[in-house]
Amino acid sequence: MRSKLFVPGSRPELFDKALASAADALSFDLEDAVAEPRKAEARAALQDLLASGRTAASGKTIIVRVNAPDTAHFAPDIVAVVRNGLHLVNVPKVEEVEQVHLAARAVALAEAANGVTTPVRLLLNIESPRGLRRAHELAAADARVAGLQLGYADLFEPAGIHRRETLAVAQTMYQMRMAAAEAGVFAYDAAFADVKDADGYRAEAELARRLGYLGKSCIHPSQIALANEVFQPTEAEIAAAQRIVAAADEADAKGVGAYLVDGKMVDRPFVERARAVLAQARTMGRAG
């Protein structure tokens, strides 16, 4: 899920274009991108889309960002969109463990009511100081949680932190990444609103990748190629990973625990990382 394109649920004319795009995932939005008077209309449009089978045929990861658990829209959103073909429910503005439990229960009930055969998991948005401070607790609250996703605007703006302050971005990324790692879930980076600043988007995506993030959100199709390029192993990384794994296999056969590869000491954590790089490369047909 290198790239995840936001698609307003109230814009069904964009659905097929999004499904045909190069994005790994699509995040259909029922929250901020949909005006209050059009919430029910957007919900119905997404229900029809999921029922059509077009999302399943796309081969993409399908996500719906529902309205927050403390809104009147949350329950009908869940009932409408938890269908076969949906992979993740993106829950915004999560701060309390009980909100995670509420979302998990609601999804389970909707699965049973709608005959869903593959469990739908949760992607929790971390968008407040409290949510960030409690990120590990939230991520570990329920087995349905698959990942955490940053939301810089809601997190920074009320505190008077500039969105482009690189120190704040880096520290926030690191803090949430460690929380996700402790809980054993993935971390996903936020949107980048300045669509014309491709260099800024790339720099932020590269930082996120160095910190172990799975991918970055896209609010415009022009950002998809950037995310796809950044969040995939380079040829040099694949070659280095192959050398590490080959050396590990040889060392295992000899009963050696630590050894040198390319002049650097290598042991189990480096081997695990190398195997992960090769597994990702194989999914893209780039390594045997």
155 and 270 assigned to the same domain: no
197 and 243 assigned to the same domain: no
In degrees, to the nearest 5, what angle opens at C-alpha 83 toward C-alphas 103 and 36? Answer: 60
Per-residue CA distances from 258 to 100, 188, 243, 244, 250 (Å): 42, 32, 14, 11, 11
Q: Tell me: the pLDDT tens digits for 127-175?
A: 999 999 999 999 999 999 999 999 999 999 999 999 999 999 999 999 9
Look at residue 279 and give its three-state secondary structure.
helix
Residue 77 lies in a domain: yes
Which residues does 252 contact at the CB level (< 8 Å), separation at least 6? none
Residue 288 lies in a domain: no
pLDDT > 90? residue 184: yes
91 and 122 assigned to the same domain: yes
Q: Tell me: the pLDDT tens digits for 52-61?
A: 989 989 999 9
Last residue of a domain, one of 193, 214, 230: 230
User: What phi and psi values does residue 264 have, to the nearest 5 degrees?
Assistant: -120, 145
pLDDT band at 238 (very low <50, low <70, confident <90, very high): confident
Q: Tell me: the pLDDT tens digits for 104-127?
A: 999 999 999 999 999 999 999 999
Enclosing domain of residue 191: 3-230
**The overall pTM is greater than 0.95:** no
200 and 240 assigned to the same domain: no
Split into its structural domains, the chain has a count of 2
Look at residue 165 and give its three-state secondary structure.
coil
CB 142 within 8 A of CB 101: yes
CB 128 within 8 A of CB 148: no
Of the candidates 48, 47, 77, 76, the residue with the CA atom closest to the CA atom of residue 65: 77
pLDDT band at 288 (very low <50, low <70, confident <90, very high): low
219 and 240 assigned to the same domain: no
171 and 156 assigned to the same domain: yes
Last residue of a domain, one of 230, 251, 270: 230
Per-residue CA distances from 138 to 75, 90, 108, 181, 262 (Å): 20, 14, 18, 13, 40
- Tell me the chain's radius of gyration from C-alpha atoms: 20
pLDDT at residue number 264 = 87
pLDDT at residue number 11 = 96
Q: Tell me: the pLDDT tens digits for 201-216?
A: 999 999 999 999 999 9
Q: Tell me: the pLDDT tens digits for 4-37?
A: 999 999 999 999 999 999 999 999 999 999 999 9
81 and 115 assigned to the same domain: yes
